A and B are shown apart, each in its own frame.
Chain A
Amino acid sequence: MRIPCPYCGERDAHEFSYLGDATPARPDPAAPDAQDRFFDYVYLRDNPAGAHQEWWYHAYGCRQWVQVERNTLTHAVAGARLARDARDAAGDAAGNVPGDAS
């Protein structure tokens, strides 16, 4: 399995470590239903058989967090972008991106 790191180019998956599903968004802790939403965010997963958006960390490379689209049935990688680009594209300032201190 090889992952096209947006910064380093295509690299072996061995250089990366895996965090998990990139779609859960961290809820607003001040929301009235925050407890339910945090349960959902921490524990429940769609776990799709097919296209999966996921976080990988390029530990033995540029040390960037990368959002990868990969097929869980075939392991085929469809694409990858830097986590901060994914955040900017989603307009998501809710701390949904790993390694994001803001």
Chain B
Amino acid sequence: MRYSWLSILTNGLSGQSGWKPAWRAATPKPAYDVIIVGGGGHGLATAYYLASQHGIRNVAVIEKGYIGSGNAGRNTTIIRSNYLLPGNEPFYEWSMKLWEGLEQELNYNAMVSQRGILNLYHSDAQRDAYARRGNAMRLSGVDSQLLDRDAVRAMYPFLDYDNARFPIQGGLLQARAGTARHDAVVWGYARGADRLGVDILQNCEVTGFLSEGERIIGVETTRGPIRAGKVGLAVAGSTTRVASKAGLRLPIESHVLQAFVSEGLKPAIDGVITFGAGHFYISQSDKGGLVFGGDIDGYNSYAQRGNLPVVEDVAEGGMALMPRIGRVRLLRMWGGIMDMSMDGSPIIDRTPRPGLYLNAGWCYGGFKATPASGWCFAHLIARNEPHEVARLMRLDRFRTGHLIDEKGVGAQPNLH
């Protein structure tokens, strides 16, 4: 069913009885052309673009839980393309462009809202770094504006400009950045892929791989073996666990990132703001809750929950930035498992096992990348060669030294 004002009207008049499930409850076929392991945003986007861009429709997406149960439903919904390095910026800008047309493409309201992201700077050195980043963005054809203190004050008069330790000097604004409704993104891609013939297999866990010599020819699952011409992994925090079943050892550690949402408030923050002197980012959802987060906890973890020191750290960042949120009550907090790579940048590449493709290492920045990640991973799987904007996101860059270290902290995943 195509969603339109007419479908809303007719269902409104018929007691909402005409709606169909957004995707089928598929049963596994014995074989597919392509199997995507992981039914998160990246996996579903990959399946969607395989079908829509490359005509490969005999595709299954295998998900251990249910659609939206992992990081797709746990992130802070920010979309942006304000990166520094040539290995990253064209990719994230392609993602931003896909976001801008996503709802029309999918016929699904993903609530993409280009409300702007403002990264605040608090020192002369940080201003220089942000000026450099803004200029690097412009060299890649991406909008950016370096704002001074007065311009920031005109946008957000309620910030603490007189913080004695970290006074706000200005900010780097990307006006096209913003937020999107995270669940709707996976639901939209799932529905879009399903409509093109992709089977979405939920509550189906991959327990191993089928192989012929070195070549991967399918997967073992809790619903039986399924053969495939090609297998793509897009399992985020579970990358090591799944890839190790194919004998791969990867430059990835799993870490927990916490996120928070407050009780609903009247409209108070109309963009995305980040605190440059700590690690704190905040926006307000359309329901009114303040959605915010900070650093990863910093130790290896597969538990989808964190600890109190980071909660305190995030709260301190928030209070230093905007003291007026001090009496807002927290509604929920949760954790998700990040596939932290050794240089802080992702991997979209072939693997040493023929027939097996890898999409991993998203650290805590995977949500914004969802459309381009799916686009480039589908391109890689369909054509067996990398897409232009993801060609530096190679698995072997750690061996050859061609790292994409946006933050410049080296092979220390908990610092990225």
Interface, chain A (partner B; CB < 8 A):
1, 12-14, 17-18, 20-21, 39, 42-49, 52, 54, 70, 72-75
Contacts and interface: CB of A to CB of B under 8 A. Distances in A.
Contact of A43 (B241, B254, B411): B411
Contact of B303 (A39, A43, A75): A75
A42 B250 contact: no
9 contacts: A13-B299, A18-B414, A20-B300, A20-B414, A39-B398, A43-B411, A45-B253, A48-B240, A75-B303
B366 interface: no
B302 interface: yes
Interface string B248-259: 011111100000
Interface in B245-296: 249-254
A1 B307 contact: yes
B208 interface: no
Interface in B354-412: 398-399, 411-412
Contact of A42 (B300, B301, B309, B411): B411
B251 A44 contact: yes
Interface centre among B240, B241, B302, B308 (most CB of A within 10 A): B302
A55 B259 CA distance: 26
Given A20-B253, A21-B300, A75-B303, 9 more contacts: A18-B298, A18-B299, A21-B253, A42-B398, A44-B251, A52-B300, A72-B254, A72-B301, A75-B307
B177 interface: no
Contact of B300 (A39, A44, A54, A74): A54
A49 B250 contact: no
A36 B342 CA distance: 16
A70 B298 CA distance: 14
A55 to B, nearest CB: 10
B91 to A, nearest CB: 21
Contacts of A44: 249-251
Contacts of A1: 307
B170 interface: no
Given A20-B300, A45-B251, A72-B254, A39 B399 contact: yes
A13 B308 CA distance: 9
Given A20-B414, A39-B399, A43-B398, A72 B251 contact: no
Interface of B: 240-241, 249-254, 298-303, 307-309, 342, 398-399, 411-414
A47 to B, nearest CB: 4
B74 to A, nearest CB: 17
Contacts of A20: 253, 300, 412-414
Interface centre among B249, B301, B413, B414 (most CB of A within 10 A): B301
Closest 5 CB pairs of A and B: A47-B240, A43-B251, A14-B309, A43-B398, A49-B302
A73 B303 contact: yes
A20 B299 CA distance: 7
B253 A47 contact: yes
Contact of A72 (B249, B302, B342): B302
Contacts of A45: 240, 249-253
A1 B250 CA distance: 27
A99 to B, nearest CB: 16
B279 to A, nearest CB: 15
A78 to B, nearest CB: 14
B353 to A, nearest CB: 16
A49 B252 CA distance: 13
A45 B361 CA distance: 13
B386 to A, nearest CB: 20
B411 to A, nearest CB: 5
Contacts of B302: 49, 72-73
B297 to A, nearest CB: 9
A66 to B, nearest CB: 13
A44 B247 CA distance: 13
Given A43-B342, A43-B411, A72-B254, A13 B303 contact: no
Nearest to B396: A39
A73 B249 CA distance: 19
Contacts of B300: 20-21, 47, 52, 54, 72
Interface centre among A42, A45, A52 (most CB of B within 10 A): A45
Nearest to B252: A47
Contacts of A54: 299-300
A46 B239 CA distance: 11
Contacts of B299: 13, 18, 54, 70
